[in-house]
Structure 1
């Protein structure tokens, strides 16, 4: 049997670009991008039998971490199932033929992609909950004080930083912003 698995990923939240080039007998679609409660993936894994094939667009669709990827590879190896990653043009069976440098590069890219995926969707979820994202802004009064100290030419940048907590780069960014 040929299975497909989709879930929202960074850059394809609607899953419109996944599995467009392959025909599958049964498609499993996860409705959310998060690592927890991946019921469709669990259902897929429970239905796999020896000789089955699973197609996913890329590894991030299937795994959220290197550890999860390793666990999934162990399951499919034990069940004698092949997983095909279309974007990477690789399968679970052909990974064994990679050189050490190719494998290292592959797993480094996987780790980066997993972190990017988690960060992107984590930030989106935090924004939905009304949480502030990023570094807190410096108070305008403190920035103005730093700017006046800078303009007076009586203070060094280090003294301004010690007095106001405003770094050199923040001060220059503020000065550039005022110039615009």
Structure 2
């Protein structure tokens, strides 16, 4: 059986959810999950509960997109997440319904913008690496100085210090230290 869930959020404890709740109740939701938490926060427990609760064929109703996503990118990712689970989304204020041809078109536009943003980031990264190589630099993390590695290995061999203490004293990463320890034992 398909269910309708509502999701309402305000940014502070002092704000009132009544207006959103009144709108959602008119749409016969079996449950309305509410939060009084800033949309910029990553930890929105009721939204996470909603994501776990919904099943294919269910519908989520929100008052507006601003109540669901922290940013355009976050909103697009949430819409894509629900769509991938077969969950429909209705935003009352924007008159957006993924069940309609117009909603499906807008979803396609959202996805295109999301892909465009990913492609731009990848292109900038590639251009940055090419520019650095043209100036004689390599990409990636800077190489660890041989003296730091020698010091770390001596401290390790002394068996007086833990790995975390050695990392703290030499400034090299734990992964780097282990990599050089393995290199010595393989030889």
The TM-score normalised by the length of structure 1 is 0.50
The TM-score normalised by the length of structure 2 is 0.48
